[in-house]
Amino acid sequence: MLGLIDQLKIASKRPSYQPSFVCTDGRVQHLKDNHKLQTDRAIAKYRKAMYGRGWLTTAEIENLLGFECTVANAFLRKLHKLGYIKQEPRDGGKYIKNRGWKWMWHESM
């Protein structure tokens, strides 16, 4: 049975792990370009579903897009943060978590 010092000596002689996939600058740029393209396509899809329809609930938007429940929520928040859509509490007053949000596409976008 090897002692702790012998085990450490053996472990230090092993080659360090080298990943088989290394991200080069060109690969990273390709991923960034692909992400932008997919985001632009998603924005166009949401705009087509929402534009000119007034205030819509999250469930109505998901229904228009053919999504399951709660799928669109994260991207709707992203669109709101980017300034593409307006957001207000569903019942008009104070936001209640169980009631959710209403969303409307900015007519100027």
Tens of pLDDT along 64-80?
999 988 889 999 999 99
CA dist 26 and 83 (Å) reads 30
pTM exceeds 0.75, yes or no: no
Tens of pLDDT along 14-58?
666 656 566 677 778 888 899 999 999 999 999 999 999 999 999
Provide the pairing of β-strand 101-105 with 85-89: antiparallel
Nearest to 79 by CA among 97, 52, 61: 61
